[in-house]
Structure 1
Amino acid sequence: MSEQQGEQGGPVVAQDIGPWVVEMQWPEGVTQGGPAVLVVRPKDRENRPLGGISSTVLREIDFKAAAERLRAQAATSEMRSQAREEYEAGRTERLRQALAQGVTDEYLAMLASAYVNYLSGGGKGPLAHLAERVGKGESTIKGHLWQARKRGLLIGTPGRAGGVLTLKAIAILTRVVPGGERISIVDVAAETAQEKPIEGE
């Protein structure tokens, strides 16, 4: 049984029943009651089961288990969302405290991480977003991101928003940020796939 997002925006829970896949979709935000949409399709679309869908297949659909799975997914999603909000609040405080010590590599690595994270999550206007969090002007933040690139902490494409953290930045974050050892390996892979910058001032 699996859960995914349906075409119309509501969550979908799938069950395997013999040669069939049953997909149940609930309206967005609804976790009680049965599904609003039910789709039964063959697992192998090239070799459809003989006789088609039978009443036996329909009786084997476990609506209770699907609803429980849906609620478990919703609870997990809510916990993740809450943890993300708490982490982001902590990130803002860490950024401000680090900047109070000066424009150090530690501060720049944290700023670069916040920048990459915000854009990878689909955020718009990263300079305004970071300026509000750090308590500085957009031009100051732009200058700090330039310094992060110059010091070998962030790789980016000139004239375009975004980038990836370097191994140097990840090493700093691992040391100074709570949970830093869980920095995405995707950042490392992306960094090693590109030409490495010359590190240093």
Structure 2
Amino acid sequence: MTPEGDLINSSELTSKGRSIIDKTKDRRAGPLLQSKYENKNKKFFPAYGMQQTANKDKHTVQVLEKLGKNITKYNELSEFRQLQVDVTIVEDLLAHPQTELHMNVMGQAREPIALVLNRRLGDYPLKNHIATFERRPEIAEYNSYITNYLAYDLQIQNFDMSNGTSITYQDLVGNSHINIGPVFGSNSSKIDLPTSAPTVDDVSSEL
């Protein structure tokens, strides 16, 4: 994978699109590691930019602390071994049968993303563990990794309540789209939410 991430329509980017690409290039920077847990039916093809993964290692520490692991040992690992741990944590989230996959999410009420979430169902040890991936089919055939962390209960409540929210946005090559689905992020409390939320039993979008 090239450092630019083999963008499909790089020559057709708007000026705003070029700016966003420059700010988020770590997500697509090589070497790029393809996930074992894709969903072809939903066109979910997660991949990890190693530079982006390294930038998010503080979230690995948060998860390891919650699991009661030895953080000192993690810090003593080589950078390569730390990256293996970082990726394994997200891969374990993707692999779990009770992990939900939401392909129609808007991050911060402005960015189209794919979001995976485990609410600590079944034998999954972490509550509200999420991971987010880029959803930009106009520029890439895969979903590059953004971040993972343990969300607060209020964040998940707002996420559930926002399901069905309609947001118009422009993609990176200038096409307008209407996204209908949940919102995750700091701006989700500033938008008009539907009056009722789906229950966990309503969620049928599992990996």
Is TM more than 0.5 here? no
Higher percent of residues as strand: 2
* Structure 2 length-normalised TM: 0.24
> Greater relative contact order: 1 or 2 (C-alpha under 8 angstroms, separation 6 or more)?
2
